[in-house]
Amino acid sequence: MSTDTPGSKATPPEETRPDAPSSAVPEAPAAAPTDPAAVTSGELDDAGEVVEGEAVGLAELAESPAPALEDQARGDLVATRQGLFGNTDTGDTSGFRGLQVSVVIDVPTERPYGGWFDEVVDILAEVLEDNGIAYGAAVRKVVVDRGELTLEIAREHLVTVCRLLRDEQDLRFDLSLGVSGVHYPEDAGRELHAVYHLRSITNGPRLLRLEVAVPDADPHVPSTTNVYPVNDWHERETWDFFGIIFDGHPGLARIAMPDDWVGHPQRKDYPLGGIPVEYKGATVPPADQRRSYR
Amino acid sequence: MGRGIEEQAPGFALGAIGDIVGLARKASMWPVTMGLACCAIEMMATGTPRFDISRFGMEVFRASPRHADLMIVSGRLSQKMAPIVRQVYDQMSEPKWVLSMGACASSGGMFNNYAIVQGVDHVVPVDIYLPGCPPRPEMLLNAILELHEQVKKAPLGARRDEIARRVEAAALAATPTHAQKGLLA
């Protein structure tokens, strides 16, 4: 499947890209740039052309291994799917069974990013260097998608990056819109993401997104409440629903679920927890057990 | 000249004291202010002049459960809210009634999941169930009028306890819904 399309160009030289998550952050386990689950087969060497939710190819037989990315730096392989509609128990009459889909998100963007994005990233790199932090160590990846700028930040530098984004005169991202969580159960080593949206009122209506990826086995992210006090309840909510532990939070208690709740309901593997519905003369299982939805 | 009632021959009206009490109770109900979700919007609409719940002597929603004797559970009841609803119910003084308004309050409705109590009768005893998603104010008025009929006929004292025990025993011995033979089975 090595078609010669513009999207399937060779891997860009790592040293030319300051944001390459290759060797800059030695201590964080989340930094693992080469996803071991993704590099096993190497079936799909042109995964760079894959965009979100698009089908990679048809007519792959069911026995063939799932397509994999050869390099984490080309994006996050967050799901591989086969067939349609979760139909696995009956014969295939549609021909869709051979369909294989790889969902790759957050493919790093090359410069120029466009608009004010370059300026903001340049200034951030400058003030990071002034504070003794290598730009590549703090900013793992820059993604421009659908006209929005996303910076993936190493968690050990998150608070510093937030403080610089808030305080630097030319940045002044003075408003945090909160913290969200995302769960990618198939993105090994980077299962949990904390997402921050920052708005600059001073320097025009600029909106910036920070993303921090941590492994499920070590779901610790430093709290940003000292920089953005508004993130207090948002971090509690993200802890409640996703189980991301925000170190340094003044009181990381559950906020939406009861205090004695077990588990984190917004994770993909959390069961829906429905009960059978009784009708007159019949019982219908809860929705999540009737069939497998995708 | 017509004569006043005091000049008429004394008349008699025979009946149980419970009839009088029931009449008085049903004509002066005090709902507690407790909206849980979208059904509460319809409940508030019921209090507006267009639907005019005051025709039935209950236009004032009390903010304190100690002043109220009717709890309209309007909306889905989350697991976290359940102890609070029970506390509100416990703070209401006897006699008190519970109206389960809408599909979610009655059975969990569309929220068949971990977060929602599958029917408020898991938490408080329900006197009347009102289906709908959400029910129109007219439906809520109808449910209230049906509840008034129940209240009017409700027995007093020891007889009330005995009837409640019998109702519970009958409910426990009843065939479960899924074992009933109906159109589906």
Same structural domain, A121 and A241:
yes
Higher pLDDT residue, B163 or B85?
B85
Is position A152 within any domain? yes
Known binding-site positions of B for [4Fe-4S] cluster = 38-39, 104, 133
Give the per-residue pLDDT at A278: 81
**Cβ of B84 under 8 Å from any chain A Cβ?**
no
CA A6 to chain centre: 25
pLDDT band at A165 (very low <50, low <70, confident <90, very high): very high
Q: Closest by alpha carbon to A227, among A131, A160, A168?
A: A160
Taking the Cβ of residue B175 and every Cβ of chain A, the question of whether any pair is shorter than 8 Å is answered with: no
Domain boundary among A105, A140, A161: A105
> What is the per-residue pLDDT across B145-158, written as a single tens digit (0 to 9) for each?
999 999 998 888 77
Cβ atoms of A44 and A56 closer than 8 Å: yes
CA distance B120 to B107: 7
Which of B115, B118, B178 is opposite residue A279, by nearest beta carbon?
B178
Structure confidence at residue A121 as a pLDDT band (50, 70, 90): very high
Using a CB-CB cut-off of 8 Å, the residues of chain B touching A256 are: 80
Highest mean pLDDT among A85-99, A142-156, B158-172: A142-156
Q: Read off the CATH number of the domain in which A190 is found.
A: 3.30.460.80
Q: How confident is the model at residue B166 (pLDDT cuts 50, 70, 90)?
A: very high
On whether the CB atoms of residues A275 and B118 are closer than 8 A, the answer is: yes
CA distance to partner chain B, nearest, from residue A178 (Å): 23
| Three-state SS at B180 | coil
A280 vs A243, more confident: A243
Report the pLDDT value the prediction gives residue A88, as an integer from 0 to 100.
63
With cut-offs at 50, 70 and 90, classify the pLDDT of residue B2.
low
pLDDT of A64 higher than 60: no
**CATH code at B153?**
3.40.50.12280
Specify whether A151 is located in the same domain as A33.
no
Residue A236 sits at φ, ψ, to 5 deg, of: -60, -40
Q: Nearest CA to A222 among A159, A173, A177?
A: A159
Which pLDDT tens digit goes with each residue over B41-73?
Answer: 999 999 999 999 989 888 789 899 999 999 999
- Residue A222: what pLDDT? 97
Asked if residue A49 is part of any domain, the answer here is yes
| pLDDT value of residue A67 | 41
Judge if A95 and A147 occupy the same domain: no
| Domain termination residue (choose one: A77, A105, A133) | A105
Q: How sure is the predictor about B34, in pLDDT bands with cuts at 50, 70 and 90?
A: confident
Query: pLDDT at position B149, please?
Result: 93
pLDDT value for A246: 96
Residue B126 confidence (pLDDT): 93
Query: Does residue B124 lie within any of the structural domains?
Result: yes
Whether residue A279 and residue B184 make contact (CB cut-off 8 A), yes or no, is yes
pLDDT at A283: 82
Q: Do B183 and A274 touch (CB under 8 A)?
A: no
Question: Identity (one letter) of the amino acid at A263?
Answer: G
Both tokens of B91, joined, read 């703070």
Contact B184 A280 (CB under 8 A): yes
A276 part of a folded domain: no
- Kindly state the tokens that stand for A153: 């930040």
Report yes or no on B180 lying in a domain: no
Q: Which site among B77, B112, B177 would you substitute to test the A interface, given the most A Cβ atoms closer than 10 Å to its Cβ?
A: B112
Q: Which domain holds residue B52?
A: 27-173
| pLDDT of B9 over the 80 cut | no
CB B107 within 8 A of CB B101: no
- How far does the CA of residue A292 sit from the closest CA of chain B (Å)? 16
Give the pLDDT mean for B106-118: 91
Is residue A32 located within the same domain as residue A127?
no
Judgement on whether residues A175 and A207 belong to the same structural domain of the protein: yes
Min mean pLDDT across A48-62, A202-216, B110-124 is at A48-62
Do A68 and A131 belong to one domain?
A: no
CA A63 to CA A67: how far, in whole Å?
12
Instruction: Tell me, yes or no, if A26 comes closer than 8 A to chain B by beta carbon.
Output: no
Q: Is residue B73 part of a domain?
A: yes
| Whole-number Å distance between alpha carbons of A288 and A278 | 16
- pLDDT top residue among B178 and B96: B96
What is the total count of domains within chain A?
A: 2
Q: What does the pLDDT read at residue A291?
A: 65
Mean pLDDT of B76-81: 93
- The 3-class secondary structure across chain A, one letter per residue, is CCCCCHHHCCCCCHHHCCCCCCCCCCCCHHHCCCCCCCCCCCCCCCHHHCCCCCEEECCCCCCCCCCCCCCHHHCEEEEEEECCCCCCCCCCCCCHHHCEEEEEECCCCCCCCCCCHHHHHHHHHHHHHHCCCCHHHHEEEEEEECCEEEEEECHHHHHHHHHHHHHCCCCCCCEEEEEEEEECCCCCCCCEEEEEEEEECCCCCEEEEEEEEECCCCCEEECCCCCCCCHHHHHHHHHHHHCCEEECCCCCCCCCCCCCCCCCCCCCCCCCCCCCEEECCEEECCHHHHCCCC
CB burial string A57-67: b at 16+ within 10 A, e below = beebeeeeebb
A205 touches chain B (CB under 8 A): no
CA distance A265 to chain B (A): 9
Q: Is residue B85 part of a domain?
A: yes
Q: Is A194 exposed, middle or buried (0-12, 13-18, 19+ CB in 10 A)?
A: buried
- What confidence category does residue B178 fall into, taking pLDDT thresholds of 50, 70 and 90? confident
Task: Mark whether A76 and A165 lie in a shared domain.
Answer: no
CA–CA separation, A28 and B112 (whole Å): 40
Query: What average pLDDT does the segment A227-253 reach?
Result: 96
Identify whether residues A152 and A239 lie together within a single domain.
Answer: yes
Looking at the fold, whether A61 and A132 belong to one and the same domain comes out as no
Which of these ranges, A8-12, A112-116, A151-155, B153-157, has the smallest mean pLDDT?
A8-12
Q: What was the pLDDT predicted at A244?
A: 96
Residues A85 and A122 in one domain: no
In whole numbers, what is the pLDDT of chain A averaged over residues? Answer: 77
Q: Residue range B2-14: average pLDDT?
A: 68
pLDDT above 80 for A251:
yes
Is residue B150 within 8 Å of residue B12, measured between CB atoms? Answer: no
> By percentage, how much of chain B surpasses pLDDT 70?
92
pLDDT of A276 > 80? The answer is yes
Shortest Cα–Cα distance, B8 to chain A (Å): 59
- Model confidence at A50, in pLDDT bands (50, 70, 90)? very low
From A212, A232, A247, the end of a domain falls on A247
- The answer to whether residue A255 sits within a structural domain is no
For residue B183, is it within any domain? no
pLDDT for A90 equals: 63
Domain around A41? 6-105
Q: Mark whether A90 and A127 lie in a shared domain.
A: no
A165 and A91 in one domain? no
* pLDDT average, residue stretch A45-74: 42
pLDDT of A39 strictly over 90: no
pLDDT band at A285 (very low <50, low <70, confident <90, very high): confident
How many domains are there within chain B?
Answer: 1
Q: Determine, yes or no, domain membership for B43.
A: yes
Give a yes or no: residue B14 inside a domain: no
Contact B114 A265 (CB under 8 A): yes
